[in-house]
């Protein structure tokens, strides 16, 4: 499932019924059932909440839902065996993993190219070849990198492909354990380095707090084999 940015709606894929259920989080009631492609498995909502993108595993397509009308406004054919979908932070790109045919399909959400006989509003711009069995997807908050978990075929350890989203090329491949699945969007920017007070500085702070009649907080930091206070 996926939650709208404002938290007002929850979208749930109904794998066996070719549908997406829309839940109102205030009333906790179902407000709509949207028909999509065959075997919808994963869904992602755009940063502005205007679109929901549904990866149809057996339909080999992405259904684009207008969240205002709860209707499908485009169907984008991609690879085989869709398993993951995510949206870039600026909403300009949608990334879809194709576990059977392999590769990650990149969808441009801004173009008005007709894909099928309906009122399509999206087109595929490229497909990036990654490792065997791509599954999970996650984009950095600044949109510069896409991380893809490659589950493999069971005979070898899995990998994570790191894609430069500007050039749609792989810039690194990281070896991980067998059958990696999900990678979440928890990757943040590195904060500036903050000097850690020395032991004598902590002692002075503690003494000042005691003399001032305030509460003291003891911090235990372990560095190597020796614990430091």
User: What's the sign of the alpha-carbon dihedral 53, 55, 56, 60?
Assistant: positive
Q: Tell me what pLDDT residue 157 has.
A: 74
Q: Say whether pLDDT at 61 is over 60.
A: yes
Mean pLDDT of the 60-75 span: 93
The b/e string for 204-215 (b: 16+ C-beta within 10 A; e otherwise) is: eeeeeeeeeeee
Round to whole Å and give the CA distance between 228 and 181. Answer: 37
Residue 158 has pLDDT above 70, yes or no: yes
Residue 219 has pLDDT above 60, yes or no: no
| Predicted TM-score (pTM) of this structure | 0.74
Least confident of 49-58, 130-139, 213-222: 213-222
């Amino acid at each position: 499932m996926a939650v709208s940015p404002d938290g007002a709606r929850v979208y749930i894929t109904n794998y066996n019924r070719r549908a997406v259920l829309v839940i109102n989080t205030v009333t906790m009631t179902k407000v709509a059932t949207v028909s999509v492609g065959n075997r919808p498995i994963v869904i992602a909502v755009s940063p502005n909440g205007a679109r929901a993108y549904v990866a149809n595993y057996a339909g080999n397509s992405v259904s684009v839902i207008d969240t205002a009308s709860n209707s499908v406004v485009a169907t984008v054919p991609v690879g085989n065996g869709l398993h993951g979908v995510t949206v870039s932070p600026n909403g300009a790109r949608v990334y879809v993993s194709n576990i059977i045919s392999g590769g990650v399909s990149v969808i441009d959400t801004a173009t008005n190219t007709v894909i099928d006989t309906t009122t399509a509003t999206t087109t595929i711009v490229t497909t990036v070849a990654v490792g065997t069995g791509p599954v999970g997807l996650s984009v950095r908050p600044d949109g510069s990198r896409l991380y893809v978990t490659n589950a493999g075929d069971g005979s070898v350890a899995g990998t994570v492909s790191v894609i430069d989203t500007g050039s749609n090329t792989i810039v690194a491949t990281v070896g991980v354990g067998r059958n990696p699945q999900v990678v979440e969007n928890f990757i943040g920017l590195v904060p500036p380095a903050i000097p850690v007070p020395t032991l004598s500085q902590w002692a002075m702070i503690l003494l000042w707090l005691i003399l001032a009649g305030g509460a003291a907080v003891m911090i235990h930091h372990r560095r190597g084999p020796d614990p430091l206070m």
